[in-house]
Amino acid sequence: MNNLEKIKKIIPLWYAQKAWAEELLIRAFDLEKAEDILKSEHQGRKSIPGTNWMYVTHGIGVDVYRTADVGGIDFDFDKPDPDEWRLRLFFEKQYNEGNLPLAEYRELYEDEGLLQCFVAEALK
């Protein structure tokens, strides 16, 4: 599998992880919709009750993670699709979590320029 195919392979995972994070927030905080996490009473960096996950709100989005740069997803509620920056960040979080085969994705993880190039190509 070439590098472009590897990156294209994680795009469906981005959508699945986003849906999971939205559902987690809705259920953990009894929200009507996931975007309600942006209301003032939920803003900031907090733990998600009953889990070992954290979240931090930012502007019109949220970052759900296990520890800094490990696991989860960072997304904006007004963007249903990943952009280059968010997909690169997602790749790093998933790699650090061990959700991607380390040997298979190591070259992309260790070469930021290469990763950036193939993420841009995959999102065209």
Collapsed DSSP state (helix, strand, coil) of residue 105: helix
Local confidence band at 89 (pLDDT 50, 70, 90 cut-offs): very high
Whether residue 29 has pLDDT greater than 90:
yes
User: Quick one: which of 62, 58, 59 has its CA closest to 26?
Assistant: 62
Report the pLDDT averaged over residues 11-33.
98
Whether residue 68 has pLDDT greater than 90:
no
- Does the pTM surpass 0.85? The reply is yes
Number of alpha carbons in the 13 Å side-chain half-sphere of residue 21 = 27
Q: Left if phi > 0, otherwise alpha if psi is -120 to 50, otherwise beta: which for 59? A: left
Local confidence band at 66 (pLDDT 50, 70, 90 cut-offs): very high
Neighbours of 5 (CB within 10 A): 10
Contact 11, 84 (CB under 8 A): no
Distance CA 16, CA 8 (A): 14
